[in-house]
Amino acid sequence: MTKKADRDQIRRQNRSIILQTLRRNGPLARIDLGQITRLSPATVTAITSDLLDQGLIEGIESEEPKAHLSRGRPRSLLQLNPDAACVLGIRLSVNAIDIALANFSGETVRTSSIAFDSSAADHENFPEVLIAAIRKFIAEAGLAEKKIKEIGVAAQGVVELSSGCVVWSPAFSGQNIPIVEPLQAAFNARCLLSNDTNMITEALHWSDPGTYSGTFAVVMLDYGVGMGLYLDNKLFAGASGKAAEFGHANHVPGGALCRCGKRGCMEAYLSDYALVRAASHLPETTDPDDVEAGVAGLAALITKAQQGEEPALEAFAKAGRVLGYGLARLLAIIDPSRIVLTGAAMRAFSFMEKGMEEGLEEALVADLRQNFVIDVMPWEEDFIRRGLIAQAMERLDIGYSGSQKPKRAAPAETERASAGE
Amino acid sequence: MTKKADRDQIRRQNRSIILQTLRRNGPLARIDLGQITRLSPATVTAITSDLLDQGLIEGIESEEPKAHLSRGRPRSLLQLNPDAACVLGIRLSVNAIDIALANFSGETVRTSSIAFDSSAADHENFPEVLIAAIRKFIAEAGLAEKKIKEIGVAAQGVVELSSGCVVWSPAFSGQNIPIVEPLQAAFNARCLLSNDTNMITEALHWSDPGTYSGTFAVVMLDYGVGMGLYLDNKLFAGASGKAAEFGHANHVPGGALCRCGKRGCMEAYLSDYALVRAASHLPETTDPDDVEAGVAGLAALITKAQQGEEPALEAFAKAGRVLGYGLARLLAIIDPSRIVLTGAAMRAFSFMEKGMEEGLEEALVADLRQNFVIDVMPWEEDFIRRGLIAQAMERLDIGYSGSQKPKRAAPAETERASAGE
């Protein structure tokens, strides 16, 4: 059934659009803000007037008037006030807590990587470890804690949005690690927990919405196998926030042993330990914990493939075929227009490509293998951080817009807007 | 990025909500309309005034005033004008075109099933066959063609929303049968083509939005295997409108031969021919066209299972296990809160259930097998028709709302509204 929409929602969306446009584009004149957002001059004037009052944006004078708009004097521009608020983007991975601080303009102003012991981390001790790491980071940044308005956390593995817990992750020995509740209580900031591949997906959309919109999927082959789904122009997290666990979707009943304990998961063919296990000709039932793999093992295997070593080449070719089957299932069920492949293993994509094409062709009827592209994206660790910050900023904007003051007349602003036009 | 919302969109949504509420509830007083929709009395009055002007709704007097609202005289109620417009819901299946006519109140007032020869139907001749069948139906109903405002068509198989074509279906011998364009040209009505399982999904949401909302999936086991996905409160059709082809998602590489020509598709284990092939101990590579199955074959097999015949029981148990694996993949990727199983094969669910539970347990780590329910829904052919009509009506409402006149003062209506309150 059609949803009820209300004026308040529109106002919040429009404010959020103005803030995001300034964050994406940098300082803008009101007239340009109106052209980019397609909001009316009256709406732009009313909203920016409120935002100026709230100290979220500030007026500056352009030093170099653009030729086509020049009237012989500097133009009045608007920009975000970088000090209006801060957000933290935190990535939890094996033995490392990576923290980034971004200002209201969306610029990362400080990052830090803090070591912890994944093998000893569980639901009882990890929240304290995390809070202490954040406190130390904030103190070193010389920042007041109350300046932190949003905290975005990404973790590898199975995370549950609804409970704010990491259900299972290679970063922890224990299960069901609470993240959102302890952080919100400690810092009086809103907190959102995400799967790390979801944050890559969000970052792609943020950095290039023209290419990464509509319905697309991101598959990350790295330590583990991750997936992010962007469906009908929105990041999709599933009913309980656990989608999309591509890595634990079954490939073959009774197949290779997975780290999760089940047999035949995609991950048991595609992740670091799976590739090393296959290249070493170890049985598929070899316990993943008994395989020396990880980031270093995967890198060594890629080097061997580059040197033409047959077992390494075979392992990648076989993994490529499994990947083709997995993508075929995704195409059948989701029908994305684009699949982005990324992660450390993508450096070996040339050794997987042929197998992947074969798998796709074998697994899926031609009618369903149309109208999509596969992109291979070189891996940048930065993507997760950028996604976290983009998402936190969007929540922040909507939050500010929700608590706005009633609209009021602002003659001075109206004049300035006219002058800029 | 946040989407721009505008006033016009809100107005259209609110008008659509009012129309849908009257269709779902029957005649209502303005005050009750306001309570159900949570729209303000002023909004309800303004919108209903416009709708009365347009002849889309009409005022009637209630014969039995409700006790708690009674002021000693009949209450003024609003209802949809059943003659304001009509929609057609058309289902295309093997050898049959089923047409239903619904009035603006959403009541089905006439149905007809017209035979055609699926084995001879292709992209050149079928559009004419379909148009002739519809013309005959409209003439027999004594209806003016221009009264038909929306045509919803559902077909089995792979349909492509974006092109309005049936890419592949057991109902046709040819491929890429154009549906939307020829019907729109012939009847000057809007037309939307859907997968039939999508229409069941839509019908479930329409009939019980409390249960069927958020993120859920419908799996239909019948002649073929269908799936409908409702994600984040919306029917999901994929980037090109071909989702969700669960039946052609691969189960086992190199597995049983599917009707699509590929090996190992879910359909090759779960559909009528697959079940009959397995129970007859025919090789998995037997051409589906060489298996005597269909609706009658499936019904006969269910009877055999009910009589305790071992090959039939084994075939259903094995299919159940494959279904469990398929649902496990869906849970991993989509994380739905509910999976609805339906279709003719559901009469044999008791013979599949244990296998399904085993498949689910084998295929998916326990952390991902939580927070969902599986419903088994007895199959009603009506569901597809109801979904078609509900969807066509929603498009109709939005369409009317888009072409509304500017709001104007309507003192007579306002008075009547006050009297009703």
| CATH number of A35's domain | 1.10.10.10
Domain membership flag for residue B128: yes
3-state secondary structure of B410: coil
* Domain coverage including residue A42: 7-83+408-420
Domain membership flag for residue A223: no
Nearest to B2 among A216, A231, A394 (CB): A394
pLDDT in tens, B320-358: 999 999 999 999 999 999 999 999 899 999 999 999 999
Q: How far apart are CA B381 and CA B223, in angstroms?
A: 13
Q: How far apart are CA A94 and CA A327, in angstroms?
A: 27
Domain membership flag for residue B234: no
**Are the beta carbons of B265 and B254 closer than 8 angstroms?**
no
Same domain, B393 and B326: no
Q: Answer whether A214 sits within 8 Å of B239, measured CB to CB.
A: yes
Closest CA to B369 of B411, B335, B321, B319: B335
Q: Answer whether B243 sits within 8 Å of A168, measured CB to CB.
A: no
Query: Cβ of A248: how many Cβ atoms within 10 Å?
Result: 28
pLDDT in tens, B100-142: 999 999 999 999 999 999 999 999 999 999 999 999 999 999 9
CA dist A35 → A21, A29, A32, A70 (Å): 11, 10, 5, 17
Give the per-residue pLDDT at B170.
82
Q: Which amino acid is at A18?
A: I
Give the per-residue pLDDT at B2.
43
Task: Give the gap in angstroms from C-alpha B213 to the nearest C-alpha of chain A.
Answer: 10
Q: Answer whether B246 sits within 8 Å of A365, measured CB to CB.
A: no
Q: How far apart are CA A387 and CA B193, in angstroms?
A: 37
Nearest to A1 among B209, B216, B238 (CB): B209
Same domain, A311 and A336: yes
Per-residue pLDDT for B6 more than 70? no
DSSP H helices, A208-309, are 267-270, 272-279, 294-306
CA-angle at B144, arms to B142 and B150, nearest 5°: 115
β-pairing verdict for B57-61 and A373-376 = unpaired
For chain A (length 421 residues), average pLDDT per consecutive 10? 62 88 92 92 93 94 60 79 94 94 94 94 95 96 92 90 88 92 94 91 89 96 90 93 91 95 96 95 95 90 96 97 98 96 93 97 91 88 87 84 38 31 29
**Are the beta carbons of B266 and B251 closer than 8 angstroms?**
yes
Give the per-residue pLDDT at A242.
83
pLDDT in tens, B351-383: 999 999 999 999 999 888 888 999 999 877 788
Same domain, B149 and B50: no
Residues of B in contact with A370 (CB under 8 A): 240
Same domain, B188 and B104: yes
DSSP symbols for B369-417: S-S-EEEE----THHHHHHHHHHHHHHHHHHHHHTPPPP---HHHHHHH
Same domain, B120 and B193: yes
Q: Which residue of B lies nearest to A398 if distances are taken between CA atoms?
A: B2
Domain membership flag for residue B239: no
Q: How far apart are CA A250 and CA A234, in angstroms?
A: 26
Nearest to B250 among A205, A260, A363 (CB): A363
Task: Give the gap in angstroms from C-alpha A413 to the nearest C-alpha of chain B.
Answer: 23
Q: Which residues pair with B92 in a beta bridge?
A: B97, B155
Q: Which of A2, A198, A252 to mutate to test the interface with B (most CBs of B within 10 A)?
A: A2
Stretch B150-164: mean pLDDT, rounded?
Answer: 89
Q: Which residues pair with A158 in a beta bridge?
A: A168
Q: Which residue of B lies nearest to A212 if distances are taken between CA atoms?
A: B1
Give the per-residue pLDDT at A63.
66
Stretch B152-168: mean pLDDT, rounded?
Answer: 89
Q: Which of B161, B227, B335, B362 to mutate to test the interface with A (most CBs of A within 10 A)?
A: B335
pLDDT in tens, B167-215: 988 889 989 999 999 999 999 999 999 988 999 999 999 888 899 999 9
**Are the beta carbons of A266 and A321 closer than 8 angstroms?**
no
Question: Is B162 or B246 the better-scoring residue by pLDDT?
Answer: B246
Q: Which amino acid is at A370?
A: Q
pLDDT in tens, B66-99: 555 555 566 789 999 999 999 999 999 889 999 9
Task: Give the gap in angstroms from C-alpha B33 to the nearest C-alpha of chain A.
Answer: 13
Distance of CA B326 to the CA centre of its chain: 22
Give the per-residue pLDDT at B77.
94
Q: Which residue of A lies nearest to B248 if distances are taken between CA atoms?
A: A332
Same domain, B124 and B47: no
CATH code at position A266: 3.30.420.40
pLDDT in tens, B213-230: 999 999 999 878 999 999
Residues of A in contact with B336 (CB under 8 A): 238-239
3-state secondary structure of A86: strand
Give the per-residue pLDDT at A156.
85
Same domain, B161 and B263: no
Give the per-residue pLDDT at B65.
53
Domain membership flag for residue A103: yes
In this structure, what are the phi and psi dihedrals at residue B344, rounded to the nearest 5 degrees? -60, -35
Same domain, B121 and B178: yes
**Are the beta carbons of B45 and B413 closer than 8 angstroms?**
yes
Percent of chain B with pLDDT over 70: 90
CA dist A20 → A141, A148, A214 (Å): 25, 19, 19
Domain membership flag for residue B138: yes
Per-residue pLDDT for B414 more than 50? no
Domain membership flag for residue B222: no
> In chain A, how many domains are there?
3
Q: Answer whether B365 sits within 8 Å of A260, measured CB to CB.
A: yes
Give the per-residue pLDDT at B61.
85
- Does ipTM exceed 0.90? no
Give the per-residue pLDDT at A402.
47
Give the per-residue pLDDT at B404.
37
Report the greatest alpha carbon distance in chain B: 77
Residues 6+ apart with CB under 8 A from B132: none
Give the per-residue pLDDT at B231.
97
Same domain, B304 and B388: no
Q: Which of B22, B24, B257, B333 to mutate to test the interface with A (most CBs of A within 10 A)?
A: B333
DSSP B94: T
Q: With left for phi above 0 and alpha for psi between -120 and 50, is residue A335 left, alpha or beta?
A: left
Domain membership flag for residue B403: no
Same domain, A48 and A104: no
Nearest to A249 among B6, B265, B332 (CB): B332
Sign of CA dihedral B334, B339, B343, B347: positive
Same domain, B295 and B335: yes
Give me the count of residues in chain A.
Answer: 421
Closest CA to B325 of B267, B253, B251, B219: B251
Q: Which amino acid is at B176?
A: N
Burial class (CB in 10 A: 0-12, 13-18, 19+), A75: buried
Per-residue pLDDT for B42 more than 70? yes
Same domain, A79 and A108: no
DSSP H helices, A26-72, are 30-37, 41-53
Per-residue pLDDT for B409 more than 80? no
Give the per-residue pLDDT at A419.
31
Per-residue pLDDT for B312 more than 60? yes
